[in-house]
Amino acid sequence: MSKTVLKVFVVLLVVLGAYMWVGYAITEMTGGEKKASGIVEISPEGGEQIFWGKGRCFTCHSMGGQGSAVRCPNLGQFGEKFPLPIGARAVERAKERSEETGIDYSATDYLVESLAKPDAYIVDTFKNEMAIVYAPPISLNLKEIKAVVAYLQSQGGEVDIDTIEQPSEVAVQYYDRIAAASAAGGGDPGNGEEMFVDTCSDCHQLNGEGGEVGPDLSTIGDKGLKFITESILRPAKKITPGYETYVVVDAEGIKTIGLKSQETGAEVEITKATGEVVTINKSDIKEIEIDEGASVMPDDLTEALTVKDFQDVLAYMMMQKSEGEQQ
Ligand code: HEC
Ligand code: HEC
C-alpha cells in the first residue's frame, strides 16, 4: 500500500466514524424525546390521559356513558341526576360557593378546589370519599392536576388555560397546598392538620392557636422538608435557640427539667414538657445547667403516628409559609 492510499483510507475512516457518531447522537435525541412523552401538557388531551390513567378518576367516576363507575358523581351529562356535564356544572357550583363563602369563585376555582380540598364542598347525596389525588398512592403533581382541570372544563365548559396558569387568589392557595404536599413527598395536609392537633398543638402555636411550650410553627415551611423531618425525628440534634433544656436541682435534691420560660432577680420559671410551669426561688437552687443532649420535645412522637399520618403532618408543615415564601 502506498502512503497516499493509506492516507485516503484513514480520512475515509474518520468521515465514516463522524457519520456514525451523528447517527448515534440523533437516535439519542429522538429516544430522549420519547422518554419525555410521559410528561403531560396542560391541555384537555393531557388531562384526559390522567383521568383515565394515573389519576384513577375512572375508578370512581364515569363521564356520561363512558366508564362503568357508578358510586360517585357522574362527571358527564347523565340522566336526570346529572343534567349538566362537569364543565358546565362547575359554573353553577361556583355561584353556590361564592354565595356560601362571600368570595368570588370562578368555574376554574371550583374545579381546582374539588381536587385540592374535596371536603370543602360535598356534592349532595354523596359522602366525603373523594381521594386526595396528590397523596399516595395516586400522587398527581400540580401540572397533572392543572391538566385534569382543563379536561374537566372541556366537558361542556370553557377551556381556560390562562386562568389555570395564572390562578386567582382562591386557586393559588390550593396550588400552594398541592405543591407543599408534593414537596413533602406526597401527603394529605387535611389529615395532617388533624394529626397535628392531636399530637403537636399542645406545645406548638400555629396561626395563633395551640400551646406555647415550643416555638411557633406558623412559618416553619420556609425551613424546608429536611429540617422539619429532622426536627421531629431527632429533636435534640439541633435545638431551636432559646429552647434549651434546663436541669434545675434544688436544695432538697429535687430535679426539675424543662425550658427556662422566665427569670427574675429572685426566681426562675421552668416550663416542663407537660406544660406545667414550676417557679423556683433562686436561693433554693443548688445546681442549674443546660442539658445539651436533650430536647423538651419528645423523640418518640412518630410512634404515635402511622407512616401515612407522619407524611401527612409533613405535608401540613410544608404548607406553613410566610407570605414572601409562597410559591
Ligand atoms: C375514591 C373515589 C374517587 C376518586 C379516585 C376520585 N374521586 Fe372525585 N369524587 C369522589 C366522590 C365521592 C365525590 C363526591 C363527594 C365530594 O363532593 O367530595 C367526588 C367529587 C368530584 C368532583 C365534584 C363533582 C361535582 O359534581 O361537583 C370532581 C370535579 C371530581 N370528583 C373529580 C375527580 C377527578 C378529576 C379525579 C381524578 C384525578 C377524581 N375525582 C378521583 C370520589 C373519587
Ligand atoms: C412536649 C412538647 C412538644 C410536642 C408534643 C411537640 N413539640 Fe416540637 N418542639 C418542642 C420544643 C420545646 C421545641 C424546641 C426545642 C428543639 O428544637 O428541640 C420543638 C421544636 C420543633 C421544631 C423546630 C422548630 C424550629 O423552628 O426550629 C419543629 C419543626 C417541631 N418542633 C415540630 C413538631 C411536630 C410536627 C410535633 C408533632 C408531631 C411536635 N413538634 C410536638 C416541643 C414539642
**Distance from the alpha carbon of residue 232 to the mean position of ligand 2, in angstroms:** 7
- Ligand 1 and 72: CB distance under 6 A: yes
* 55 has pLDDT over 90: yes
What would the pLDDT profile of 11-24 be if each residue is shown by its tens digit?
666 665 666 665 55
From the CA of 295, give the closest atom in ligand 2.
18
Higher pLDDT among residues 259 and 302, named by residue: 259
What would the pLDDT profile of 197-233 be if each residue is shown by its tens digit?
999 999 999 999 999 999 999 999 999 999 999 999 9
Q: Which of 157, 135, 164, 174 is nearest to 313 (CA)?
A: 135
Q: Which of 200, 258, 263 is nearest to 231 (CA)?
A: 200
Kindly provide the b/e burial profile for residues 162-177, where b requires at least 16 CB atoms within 10 angstroms of the residue's own CB.
ebbeebbebbebbbbb
What would the pLDDT profile of 130-158 be if each residue is shown by its tens digit?
999 999 899 999 999 999 999 999 999 99
179 in Cβ contact with 142 (< 8 Å): yes
73 in Cβ contact with 61 (< 8 Å): yes
- Ligand 1 and 204: CB distance under 6 A: no
- Ligand 1 and 130: CB distance under 6 A: yes
Average pLDDT rounded to a whole number, residues 39-46: 93
**Distance from the alpha carbon of residue 239 to the mean position of ligand 2, in angstroms:** 9
Which one of 200, 306, 307 would you pick to mutate in the ligand 2 pocket, going by the greatest count of ligand atoms within 8 A of its CB?
200
What is the number of the ligand closest to the CA of 119? 1
What would the pLDDT profile of 279-301 be if each residue is shown by its tens digit?
999 999 999 999 999 999 999 99
Residue partners of 200: CB distance under 8 A and separation at least 6: 210, 217, 301, 313
- Ligand 1 and 145: CB distance under 6 A: no
pLDDT at 325: 53
pLDDT band for position 33 (50/70/90)? very low
d(CA 52, CA 3): 67
Residues 319-324: contacts with CB under 8 Å, at least 24 apart: 319/176, 319/177, 319/180, 319/181, 319/189, 319/221, 320/206, 320/217, 320/218, 320/219, 320/220, 320/221, 321/176, 321/180, 321/219, 321/221, 321/222, 322/218, 322/219, 322/222
Residues 51-55: contacts with CB under 8 Å, at least 24 apart: 51/148, 51/151, 54/138, 54/140, 54/144, 55/133, 55/138, 55/140, 55/144, 55/148
- Ligand 1 and 60: CB distance under 6 A: yes
* 28 has pLDDT over 80: no
d(CA 125, CA 60): 15
* 35 has pLDDT over 50: no
Task: Provide the grid cell at 327.
Answer: 410559591
Give me the amino acid identity at 275: G
d(CA 181, CA 168): 20
* 326 has pLDDT over 60: no
Which one of 297, 301, 320 would you pick to mutate in the ligand 2 pocket, going by the greatest count of ligand atoms within 8 A of its CB?
297
d(CA 261, CA 95): 50
- Ligand 1 and 49: CB distance under 6 A: no
**Distance from the alpha carbon of residue 293 to the mean position of ligand 2, in angstroms:** 15
**Distance from the alpha carbon of residue 76 to the mean position of ligand 1, in angstroms:** 12
Residues with CB under 6 A from ligand 2: 199-200, 202-204, 213-215, 217, 220, 228, 231-232, 235, 239-240, 243, 273, 295-298, 301, 313, 317
Ligand 1 atom 16: residue of nearest CA: 122
d(CA 139, CA 98): 29
d(CA 78, CA 75): 8
pLDDT band for position 327 (50/70/90)? very low
Residue 223: Cβ within 10 Å count: 16
